Each structure stands twice: as structure tokens, then as C-alpha cells.
Amino acid sequence: MMPPVEEIISHSVEETEAIAGQLAATLNGAECIALQGDLGAGKTQFVRGLVRALGANASAVSSPTFVLLHVYDGGRLTVYHLDAYRVAGPEDFESIGFSELLEQAGVVIVEWAERVAAILPTDCILIDIEPTGETERRIVIRRGAVSVE
């Protein structure tokens, strides 16, 4: 079990993906993961590492900015990968069935989660990714009742 708050420094894309893989090993399904970080912070790389660790096709992972939702199945858990960057608000997420996705036995991952914070479950796993150098990232993972801002 991972601690309620964990801060990790990643020195490469491979390390970021490995950190995501460690998180994936703790998932049982029906989790929501809220990803926060600026453009280029490494959110999609984190998702790629998580999808790989769950046994699905990691090479299929791409940012869902323009399509809103990608589904990665074939692994231990289905991953529903959403992006709130271009949404007008929580209503856009509700219109694609966000509530129903949360009821599935998979993992729902939301990039730019702060844009739809009002509809995220209170037990979301919050992950902040912050670039601290050209390839270095500070990754903070918070579990439990956390506030997405």
C-alpha cells in the first residue's frame, strides 16, 4: 500500500512511467485518478506507464485532448483516459457519460482535472506533475479525500 502522500523525483520519461507502474500495482479497479500539470509536464507519459503496467497496449496511449476520451482495454483493468483541457465545464464531461465511467470496474484518469473538479469523486487519487528541469519531474501522489484545485 502506498502512503497517503508521496513525493517522488523522476529523472526521465522511463522513470515517470515506472512510477506510474508502481501506482498501477496498487489499483483494484473503480479508481479515479486526477492528473494535474502544465503542458508538457508528463501527464500522458504517466498514463502510458500505468497502461503498460496494467498489461494493455501502451503504444496506443496518446493525449485525448481533441477526442475527450480514449479507452485502453486488454489489460488487468480497463483504463478510461479523459482530458478536460478543452471542455467548457463539468457539463461536457457529464454529456459523455463520466458518471457511468466511474461506475465501471476500471480506472478513470482525468488530465487537467482542475477544470472539472466539481464532479470528481472525493476519493480521487490526485497526482501533480511539475517539471523541475529539462527531464526532471516532481511527482506528488495524494490518496484519500483530496481537493483538486
pLDDT at 35 over 90: yes
Does pTM surpass 0.85? yes
Burial (CB count within 10 angstroms: exposed 0-12, middle 13-18, buried 19+), residue 102: middle
Residue ranges of domains in the chain, CATH in brackets: 5-142 (3.40.50.300)
Pick the closest to residue 98 from 109, 112, 86, 85 (CA basis).
Answer: 109
Per-residue pLDDT of 98-112, as tens digits, reads 889 999 999 999 999
Which residues does residue 110 pair with via DSSP β-bridges, in sequence order? 34, 82
Of residues 70, 101, 68, the one with CA closest to residue 87? 68
More confident residue, 4 or 115: 115
Residue 50's pLDDT is what? 96
Q: Where do the DSSP E strands lie in 55-106?
A: 69-72, 79-83
Q: Write the pLDDT tens digit of every residue in 60-71.
A: 988 776 677 889
